[in-house]
Amino acid sequence: MNRFLSTALVLAAFAAQPALAQPPAAAQQATAPAAAAAPPAPRVDLADAYRREFAFLEAQKRELTARLAQTRQSFDSERARLAREVDALENRVLAARSDTESMNEQLAAAERQQEAVTEGSELLAGTLAQAQASLGLLGRDLGAEEAFKAASLPEQFERALGAARELLAVLSSVRREPGSFFLPDGAEVQGTIIRLGAVAALGVSDRGSGVLAPAGDGRFKLWNVPAADTAEALAANRTPALIKAYVFESATAAVEPPVEKTFWSEMAKGGAIGWVILALGGLGLLLIAVRAVFLQRAGAAVDKIMDAVSPQVRAQRINDAIEACKRFKGSAARVVTAALRNADREREHLEDIVSESILHESTHLNRFGSFITTITAVAPLLGLLGTVTGMIQTFDVITEFGNSDPKMLSGGIAVALVTTMQGLMVAIPLLVVGSLLNGWADGIKDDMEKAALKVINLYQETRAVAAAPRAA
C-alpha cells in the first residue's frame, strides 16, 4: 500500500511541473494576448492537491484493507468448511473400509462353512453309497426300495443304519436253511446249508457234507477239506469242539482251490521263450559235461606220458620214446611227440616248434568254450525279451479289461518275470562252470609246455653226458 501512495504522489508532481518550468519571456508572450482578452486564472495550491490526493488514497487504502479482511475471513470460513467436509469424508471412508473388511470376513466364514457343509455332504453321500454296496452284497438292495429313493439324504442314512442293524442281528447268528450246493464232481445236490453269519457256510446232504466255499453268484460248492462231522454236528444243533470252515468275504466271487506248483508248471509259464532258454541251458550243460570229460583225459595223460617216455629218453632211444607216445591219445601226446621228433634241432627252433604244437592243440582244448560263453550272454537277454513281451501283454489286458482285478495283474507280471528267472538260472551256472573250465584248459596247456620242455632238457642233458667221455 505504501508503494501505491508513493507512486501517486510522483505522478501528481510530474503533472504540475510544465506550468512551473516555462521561462518568463515565453510566459509573457503566451499570456499577453490572453490577458488582453480574459481576466487572470485563479491560483492552484500544490499542497492542497497533495492533501486531497493523499486523502483519496487513504480512503482507497481503507476500502482495500476492509475488502482484504473480508476476503480473508471468507477464505478462512470456506477453508474451515472444506476441512470439516474432508474430515467427514475420511470418517465415511474409514467406516466403509471397516464395513468392507467385516463383510469380507463374514463372506470368508460363510465360504468355509459352505465348504464344510459340502465336504460333509460328500462324505455322507460316499458313506451312504458304500453302505448301499455292502448291504447289496449281503442281499439287501436299498436302491430298489421306493421309500429309500424318495427320502432325503439324512433319512436315507438313517434307513441304511437301520437296515445294517437288522442284517447284523440276522447275520451274527447260526442259521440253517434248505438249499443246494455243488459236489467236487460238479453235481448239484439239495440239502441243508448251515450259515455261520456271513463269513462261512457248511452243507449237509445225502451225497456229501462238509465245508462250503463260494462258487459265484451266491452259490456254494463243497470244499476239498474233510469236515463232514462238523457239518452234521451243526445241523443237529450240536457244537463240535473244533469248527472247520472256509472264511470268505463275499459269496458273489467264485473261489478256486490253490493249484499245486511244480518245477515244470512254473517253467511252463515262460511260454515259448522260456522253453528256448531251458533248451539252451540243457545244451550248455551237455557241452560243459563233454568238455569236462575231454579236459580230464587230456590232463591225466600228461603224467602217464612222462612216465612212459622218460626212461627211453635217458637211454637215447628217441624212436622208442615216440612209439611210447603213440600209445597215448590226446593233445599232450601230440605235443611231446613233436618235441621228440625235433629233439636234434637247435634250442630256439625247438621251442618254436613246441609253441606251434601247443597253439595247434589249443583249438581242441578250447572246444565248445566260445559256444558256452555265447549261451551265457544270450540267456539273460532272452529272459529280458520274455519279460518285456509279458509286460506288453499285461498292459494289453489292462487296456481291454481295466485294472480292477489285482489278481489278474499280479499273475500277468509273475508270468512275465519267469523268463528273467530262467535266463539267470541258465546264465549263472554256465558262467561259473565255463570260467572254471577255461582255467583248467589253460593249466593243461601249461602242463603240456612243461612236459615238452622237460623231455627236451632231459634228452639234451643225457646226450651231453654221453658225449663227455668221447670228447675226453
Span 219-246, average pLDDT = 81
Confidence check: pLDDT of 10 > 60 = no
Of all helices (H) and strands (E), which one includes residue 328?
none
CA 279 – CA 151 distance, rounded (Å): 69
For residue 420, how many C-alpha atoms fall within 13 Å in the half-sphere facing its CB? 11
| Radius of gyration, alpha carbons of the chain | 64
Residue 279, pLDDT score? 92
Of 187-201, 309-323, 394-408, the poorest mean pLDDT is in 394-408
First to last CA, the chain: 164
pLDDT tens digits for 129-176?
Answer: 888 777 776 667 777 787 777 887 778 878 888 888 877 777 777 788
360-391 exposure pattern, b = at least 16 Cβ within 10 A, e = fewer:
ebbeebeebbeebbebbebbbebbebbbeebe
Given phi > 0 = left and psi -120 to 50 = alpha, else beta, which region is 53? alpha
pLDDT tens digits for 342-385?
Answer: 777 777 777 777 777 777 777 777 788 888 889 999 999 999 99
DSSP for residue 143: G
The answer to whether 128 and 160 have CB atoms below 8 angstroms apart is yes
Confidence of residue 469 (pLDDT cuts 50, 70, 90): low
Given phi > 0 = left and psi -120 to 50 = alpha, else beta, which region is 181? beta
Beta carbons within 10 angstroms of residue 117's beta carbon? 10
Residue 21, pLDDT score? 38
Residue 43, pLDDT score? 64
How far lies 111's CA from each of 122, 153, 238, in Å? 16, 22, 62
CA 43 – CA 57 distance, rounded (Å): 24
DSSP for residue 368: T
pLDDT tens digits for 282-320?
Answer: 999 999 998 888 887 776 667 777 777 777 777 777 777
**Which of 355, 330, 360 minimizes the C-alpha distance to 342?**
355
Confidence check: pLDDT of 13 > 90 = no
Confidence check: pLDDT of 213 > 50 = yes
Residue 281, pLDDT score? 92
Confidence of residue 427 (pLDDT cuts 50, 70, 90): very high
Rounded percentage of the chain residues whose pLDDT exceeds 70: 83
C-alpha cell at 191: 440239502
44-75 exposure pattern, b = at least 16 Cβ within 10 A, e = fewer:
eeeeeeeeeeeeebeeeeeeeeeeeeeeeeee
Confidence of residue 2 (pLDDT cuts 50, 70, 90): very low
Residue 258, pLDDT score? 66
What mean pLDDT is reported for the chain? 78
- The overall pTM is greater than 0.85: no
CA 112 – CA 50 distance, rounded (Å): 90
Residue 429, pLDDT score? 92
